[in-house]
Structure formats: structure tokens, C-alpha cells
Amino acid sequence: MTSTKVHVLRCSRRHTWEAVIVTIRDYPKEQLAAQPIGYWSGAAYRAVVGRIRSELAVEQLTQPHWWTLNHIAGAPGEWSRARLTERLAPYDDLGIDFATVFDDLMARGWVTEQGEALTITDAGEEGRLRSHARLAEVNRQIHDGITTDEYVAALGVLRRMIANLGGDSDVP
């Protein structure tokens, strides 16, 4: 059995970068074709989302905090709590109470609310940009050694599987 060695930068638990060689064992096509998609999609989810959540935790944020900051920054004053909760709730897999997220961001001074309109503050934008930089590096690491065509093909296959099972395969 052969393997492929890939040079990557990896972030340690101490949030320092180190160059490592990752070995990915090669398997016969028939063996890979027999692998359960549920296992591999779950393993990818846990690795990707776990890393995203770990990086957001450095700023004491959850994914719903991050989503909230991005939506408010993208359309200042256009989001109410109710509209934003309705928009974001389908992406939450932890049963987060969005009112608590909004209240936390307001208590930090990252978001203000006038009437029903939510607006990001300068402090909130600074925190959002710090988190964005961290997540951009995670995204770079996720895509390391993967061409755009390979990535698009992988998403295409996953979208087709979702559609085959009656799910929503549209881009969010």
C-alpha cells in the first residue's frame, strides 16, 4: 500500500503554527468506493466545525455569535432579533438560544439595539475582524493541497447526495 505525503501548516493547541508532514494512505478505488458516506461526512464535519469552533472560542464566541456579527455587519440596522433568529436558526445544531447570543454581544458592547434594529459597534467590528483572520487561516488549511476543481467536485457530489435524499441542496 502506498501513501501520499502532504506538507501542511498546522495550528497547535497553543495557537502557534508548525510545519508538519501529513501522510494520507492510498487505498484501492474499490475499497474507497465501499466506504460509508455517513462516516466520512461526519468525520469531515467534526474536524472542520470542531476547528472553526475552537478558533472562535479564542474570542469567546460560538458559531451563532459569529453568524450574528457577520449578518449585522453586512446590513447595519436592517436586522431585528426576530428576523435574524429566523434566518440563522436553521444552521444551528446545538439548540442555541439566540436571545442569549444577542444579549451577550450587547453586554460586551459589540452590538447595539435601537428600536428593533441591531448594529455592530467598533469593538464588535474589531472582534469580528480578529475572528475573520483566524477563520481565514482555518479555511486556507482546509483547502491546502486541494484544487478549486477538486473542491467544487466534492461539493457537487455532496449536494447531489443531499438532493437524492430529498434535502435542500441549494447554496445557503
Residue 171 belongs to a domain: no
For residue 19, what are the contacts with CB-CB under 8 A and spacing of at least 6?
7, 8, 9, 10
For residue 83, what are the contacts with CB-CB under 8 A and spacing of at least 6?
none
Residue 82 belongs to a domain: yes
Question: Could you tell me where the DSSP H helices lie in the chain?
Answer: 29-33, 37-57, 63-74, 81-88, 98-108, 122-143, 148-164
Residue 31 belongs to a domain: yes
- pLDDT (0 to 100) of residue 11: 60
Residues spanned by the domain of 23: 3-164
- pLDDT (0 to 100) of residue 99: 97
Residue 169 belongs to a domain: no
**Residue 110 belongs to domain with CATH number:** 1.10.10.10
Task: Please state the separation of Cα 79 from the chain's center in Å.
Answer: 21
Query: What is the CA angle 147-55-129, rounded to 5?
Result: 85
- pLDDT (0 to 100) of residue 172: 84
- pLDDT (0 to 100) of residue 151: 96
Residue 36 belongs to a domain: yes
Count of the separate structural domains present in the chain: 1
Asked if 110 and 121 touch (Cβ cutoff 8 Å), the reply is yes
Asked if 72 and 118 touch (Cβ cutoff 8 Å), the reply is yes
Residue 37 belongs to a domain: yes
Residues 113 and 68: their CA atoms lie apart, in Å, by 13
Residues 93 and 89: their CA atoms lie apart, in Å, by 8
- pLDDT (0 to 100) of residue 20: 73
Percent of the chain residues topping a pLDDT of 90: 80
Residue 170 belongs to a domain: no
- pLDDT (0 to 100) of residue 2: 67
Please list the pLDDT of the chain residue by residue as tens digits (172 residues). 565 655 555 566 666 666 777 788 899 999 999 999 999 999 999 999 999 999 999 999 999 999 999 999 999 899 999 999 999 999 998 899 999 999 999 999 999 999 999 999 999 999 999 999 999 999 999 999 899 999 999 999 999 999 999 999 999 8
Residue 13 belongs to a domain: yes
Q: Which residues of 58-81 are buried (b: 16+ CB within 10 A; e: fewer)?
A: ebebbbbbbbbbebbbeeeeebeb
- pLDDT (0 to 100) of residue 135: 97
Q: What is residue 19's three-state secondary structure?
A: strand
